Amino acid sequence: MKTKNYLLLPVLAIAAAFSSCEKDTNTVTNPAPANEEELITTVRLVVFDGTDSLAFEFKDLDGEGGNSGSIDTIVLSSSNTYLYSVEFLDESRNPVVDITEEILEEGDEHLVCYNSTNGLDISRGDLDENNLPIGTVGTLITNNAGNGTLTITLKHQPGVKNGQCEPGETDIEVVFPVRVQ
């Protein structure tokens, strides 16, 4: 019987070996800078009417939470046709990271959607490998003068992209005030 007892000792030794206490290797008094794996701080809409190019930005350098972002008013002239491009940037880093490139690389999972309340006519000019639009570049046509808004939405649609804005998760949604004059 006694031998049986001592057979249990190795079992206990194994148990003890399994319980190497984990340690926190970080320093409390020196927190690592808060770090999002991916942060988009800036949406920049650039329009080009053949001679001049104009840029309008939404910018929130500290990300979600903290301070609110700032936003430009888009000012365009009426009954005009522009080429547009939209850029998504992380300006919290140095050098600035251009996330638009990553979006184009994974074009079959992304769609940029536009929703205007004062008659801006936007057609997407780029296609993904499945011949579905992506929407980072295209044409923008203004109609009558007036005020309104333009909502730019970046949808992440892995596996569900069908050309519509409905499926997927919203990665970005920015509402620009618009003045057409």
- Comparison of 36 and 121: residue with beta carbon closer to another protein: 36
Rounded to a whole number of angstroms, the minimum distance from the CB of residue 166 to another protein is 8
136 and 130 Cβ atoms separated by less than 8 Å: no
In this chain, which of 10, 37, 52, 131 binds another protein, going by CB under 8 A? 37
Distance CA 2, CA 11 (A): 15
Does 121 bind another protein (CB under 8 A)? Our answer is no
Rounded to a whole number of angstroms, the minimum distance from the CB of residue 2 to another protein is 6
In this chain, which of 55, 73, 102, 121 binds another protein, going by CB under 8 A? 102
> CA separation (Å) from 17 to 6, 10, 12, 25, 105?
17, 10, 9, 21, 48
Q: Which of 168, 146, 172 is nearest to 71 (CA)?
A: 172
Distance CA 128, CA 126 (A): 7
**Residue 46: strand pairing partners:** 55, 85
Does 156 bind another protein (CB under 8 A)? Our answer is yes
Tokens of 157: 């649609």
In this chain, which of 75, 78, 81, 105 binds another protein, going by CB under 8 A? 105
Q: Given the rule CB under 8 A, which residues bind another protein?
A: 1-2, 4-6, 8, 11-12, 15-16, 18-19, 21-24, 26-38, 40-43, 58, 60-66, 68-69, 71, 97, 99, 102-103, 105-106, 115, 117, 149, 151, 153, 156, 158, 166, 169-175
